[in-house]
Amino acid sequence: MPTAIVTGASRGIGRGIAQELARTHQVIATYRGRLDAAESLKAETGCEIFRCDIASREDRAALIAFAREKFGRLDLLVNNAGIAPRERRDILEASEEIFDEVLGTNLKGPYFLTQLAARWMAGQGDGRIVFVTSISSYTASVNRGEYCISKAGLSMAVSLWAQRLAQAGVKVFEIRPGVIRTDMIAAVEKLYEERIANGLLPQRRMGESRDVALAVRAIADGLLDYSTGQVLNVDGGFHLRGL
Query: What domains lie within the chain, and their CATH numbers?
Result: 3-233 (3.40.50.720)
Burial of 17 (C-beta count, 10 Å sphere; 0-12/13-18/19+): buried
Q: Rounded to a whole number, what is the largest CA-CA distance in the chain?
A: 55
pLDDT score of 179:
95
pLDDT score of 185:
81
pLDDT score of 156:
98
Which residues of the chain register pLDDT less than 70? none
Q: Is 147 a catalytic residue?
A: yes
pLDDT score of 35:
93
pLDDT score of 242:
85
pLDDT score of 186:
82
Of the residues 31, 111, 138, 147, which is catalytic?
147
**Which residues, 6 or more positions from 118, have their beta carbon under 8 angstroms from its beta carbon?**
127, 129, 161, 164, 165, 168, 170
The pTM of this model reads: 0.96
